[in-house]
Every structure is written in C-alpha cells, then in structure tokens.
Amino acid sequence: MSTFTDTPTTNDSRNGTMDTITTEATRRPRLGGMTWLVWRQHRAAYWTILGAAVLSVAWMVYQRGQMVDFLDGIGYPGTGVDNTNEGFADYQNAMMAASTGLQAIPILLGVFLGAPLLAGDLENGTAKLVAAQSMSRTRWLATKLGLTALVIVVVTVTLSAVFDWWWSPVKSEITVMDWTSSSAFDTTGPVPVALTLFSVVAGVAIGVVLRRTLMAMVVTFGFLVVVEIVWSSCVLSLGNIITVTTNKGVMAENSFPSLPGNAYQLDDSYLTASGDLLGWSTCSGSASDQARELCLKKEGVVGWSVDYLPMSQMNGMQWFGASILFALTAGIVVFLFFWGRKRLV
C-alpha cells in the first residue's frame, strides 16, 4: 500500500537515510472549483465588461483633465461657462455622451448578461449536468450570481465615482447638467450600482422562468424599458418637497421668492390671503399690467407659493431610491434560490 504526500523525499547516499525536503511553492492565486468553472464559462462576457470599463475610465479621466484646463484658462468660476461663446460646448457634449452610455449599462447588462446567465444552461442542458455532480444546485446558483454581482459592483462603482469626479467642477452649473435629470441622478452615487444589479438579477429571473435564451433577452429588454420609465417618473417623489411663500404681492420686481442655487422648482402658484392657491395663469388674460393687478387684487392674491427640491437632497434621494432597488433585488434573489431548489434542472 502506498500513500501520496505533499513533501517529496530523497535518498541521502552518505548516511543511507531518507531525508524530507520541505519546499514552499510560490504560486499565483488561482480560482478553483465552482468559481473557476463559472468564470471560465462566462469569462468572455466578464473580460469584455471589465475591458470596456477600463477604457471608459481612461477616456473620462482624459476628458476631465481637458475640461479643467479649459476652466482654468477662462478664469472659472469668475467667468461662467455660459460666457465662453460656446467654447464649453465640446466638453459638455462629451459629458452628456458619457452619461448616455452609463444610462444604457443597466439595460445592456440585463439583456446580454443577466437573461442568458441561466437560460442558456437550462436550454442546452448544462443545468442537468451540474445537478448530477456532487456540487449542489444552490452552490452553483450562488456562485453564478455572486461572481456576476462582484463584476457588476466593481465596474459600476468605478464608473460612477469617476463620472461624478468629472462632473464635480461644474456641479453648480445647472445649465451643464440638471441634477434631477437621468443624466446626473442615474449615473452618480449608488443609483448606477442598484439599477444595474436589479436589471441583471431581473434578467436572470426572467431567463429561469422562460428557459429560452432569445425569448428571455427580448422579454428582459421590454421589462427594463418599462422599469426605466417608471423609475424616471418616480425620482422626484424620493425627496422632501419644500414650500416657500411670500406675502408682498406678485407684481413687484423682486416679489418672487429666492430659491437656493440649483434648486429644482416643481410648481408655483398664487397665494391668497385666505391661504388658498391659484394657478399662475390666473388673470393672465388681462389687457394691461394695471388691469392684471386689479384682477389679482380682486382674487385676493397676496404673494407666491413655490414648491422646490434643493440640490442638498440629491445624495439622500439617491440612497433612498437605491435602497428600494436593493430590496427588490434581494427579493428576486430569494425567488431564484427558492425556484432553483425545485425546478432549476
């Protein structure tokens, strides 16, 4: 009977004894087991995502450097970007192009990474082969989701941070990019991470249910388009609306309330002495300013009521929205493990 050991032995001819030679192999860290299998199966997609992220980061860093040099050259912020005879337009266009690309990431990864992740294995029979091995289906599913989520988080966190760093010198310029728009809100902070994770996991769930790769990709695309529309319509409701009122009339030059810089105005109305609100179009049909003033006086208007969201709420709104998406993602993951224990073959 022979046994195998990790430490090789050699015969010392001088004393006739067997001496154990202890060697420490220096090896690079390598993936093993199920992690290696999942990485090898999807390595083309993972490397494509990571490579595209590296190139995008390099381009954004370059563009940011060019923009900062331009701003220093014009004496910003002493000279505003609106007073450069469209000289800033090229840098703004580059930023908007990058924002458009970042906004497309959740849908692209949901369709081309999430939907085929398990649907392909179910369609071609790989899932049955895995189920016949010693590794449990739960571990297989956990490794697939975990490794994919790791790649997504690394990429989206990096892109979000770099884009925010690029935007930061002109963040106070609402004409460059409105902070409530998808161009800024969905591409900075935790929102890109949350949106992308939700999109990919939703695509995985759709693929598991439909069990056909192409059909899952088509349905995932339609689903995520609807999600983007719903998300965009709900963004403003994530904040705490602030209302400011005045009571010194509405016709004077400085009668409109002063709002914080970059505040997003939601609505404005006339305020009456009784506290009622009237639409800003009230008395708009008056023939002259004097006639309009008499009309407003007759309606009892004493000032303005303005609803707005300050930019200081942006970070809180992003984390609130991201927490909702993270919770939904967690719910889908629970469904996947529940489904996988019974029907993932």
Which whole number is the average pLDDT over 301-309?
94
- pLDDT number for residue 272: 92
Distance between CA 324 and CA 320 in Å, rounded? 7
The helix/strand/coil state of 74 is: helix
Residue spans of alpha helices (H) in 211-256: 213-234
> If we measure between CA atoms, which residue out of 258, 246, 239 comes closest to residue 314?
239
Distance between CA 289 and CA 300 in Å, rounded? 16
Query: Any residues with CB less than 8 A from the CB of 294 and at least 6 apart, and which?
Result: 286
Does the pLDDT of residue 241 top 90, yes or no? yes
Could you read off the pLDDT of 169-183 as tens digits, one per residue? 999 888 889 999 999
- pLDDT number for residue 36: 82
Confidence band, pLDDT 50/70/90 cuts, at residue 5: very low
Q: What is the pTM of this model?
A: 0.85
Q: Label residues 244-281 b or e (16+ Cβ within 10 Å = b).
A: eebeeebeeeeeeeeeeebbbeeebbbbbeeeebbeee
β-strands 17-20, 277-279 pairing: unpaired
Q: How many CA atoms lie within 13 A of 74 on its CB side?
A: 18
Which whole number is the average pLDDT over 183-190?
96
Q: Supply 318's token pair.
A: 């992003």
- pLDDT number for residue 251: 84
Does the pLDDT of residue 191 top 90, yes or no? yes
Confidence band, pLDDT 50/70/90 cuts, at residue 193: very high
Share of the chain above pLDDT 70, in %: 86
Could you read off the pLDDT of 8-53 as tens digits, one per residue? 444 444 454 444 444 444 454 465 567 888 888 889 999 999 999 9
Which whole number is the average pLDDT over 247-260?
87
Which whole number is the average pLDDT over 80-96?
83
β-strands 9-12, 17-20 pairing: antiparallel
Task: Report the mean per-residue pLDDT for the chain.
Answer: 86
> If we measure between CA atoms, which residue out of 226, 275, 8, 224 comes closest to residue 111?
224
Q: Supply 320's token pair.
A: 């609130």
> Looking at 189-193, 229-233, 340-344, which range is the least confident one?
340-344
Which whole number is the average pLDDT over 109-123?
91
* 306 torsion bin: left (phi>0), alpha (psi -120 to 50), beta (else): beta
Which whole number is the average pLDDT over 149-173?
95
Confidence band, pLDDT 50/70/90 cuts, at residue 280: confident
- pLDDT number for residue 132: 56
Does the pLDDT of residue 138 top 90, yes or no? no
